[in-house]
A and B are shown apart, each in its own frame.
Chain A
């Protein structure tokens, strides 16, 4: 990276023939995209208020996927990148799912085939000092005391 490099007056801002600074890059209405993102945010907040589990999953996390796609496509200009960039992204997503799938059972399950967590595991998960159990614990509704 040179210290005096300037973006070309025409064409690209970073040297790629099909980069985001391409004069032929698709026109984007960023205000409209932002408006859609705000509307989706409202959906993701209101949806879970219905108290229906599958609605919550779709409105909170399904909408998050859509929002992430919109940001990547329109703000990160993924749609005009080379195909290999999409493949790299897909591989990263697959590895993330694999990581979650490998770790989640250990974290979320108390026992499995040939193993069982000892009593201290959940105890220490609740408080850092077993002899202070309950000291930091909130009442029953503490779970809903999320910010």
Chain B
């Protein structure tokens, strides 16, 4: 479970680096695209870990109706996962354009969205896994 924020942050750092090719004043769309693909890989890692975690919890008998905490846990983490999946789709779209040096302004926009989702997880993590 503690690997989750690492995967989220790992994808976050690639998303952070996404602007470097643009900041250097050179059209390095392909490089930005590669970093965006790595970001998607980080998101995918997060989703795989979540799927294993949920499978384990459900097999243990902890389901959505098992109590207030579990209701909150599945709803919050599930909604977060949906946002991650949506972000991954949009990032792939933007990366494909960036590869051709097109629509590079979208790189920053999608990055802001991705980091917003990251910030949500920063607060969900202690609420779901640490606070007792």
Contacts and interface: CB of A to CB of B under 8 A. Distances in A.
A147 B105 contact: no
Interface size class of A (residues with CB under 8 A): 35 or more
B122 interface: yes
Residues of B contacting A: mostly: helix
Nearest to A22: B23
Interface stretch (B67-75, B78-86, B88-96): B67-75
Interface of A: 3-7, 9-11, 13-15, 19-23, 25, 28, 30-31, 33-34, 37-38, 41, 44-45, 48, 56, 60-61, 64, 67-68, 71-72, 74-77, 125-129, 136-138, 142-147
Given A30-B17, A127-B65, A60 B126 contact: yes
B22 A64 contact: no
Q: How large is the interface on B (under 10, 10 to 19, 20 to 34, 35 or more residues)?
A: 35 or more
A23 B19 contact: no
A10 B9 contact: no
A50 to B, nearest CB: 12
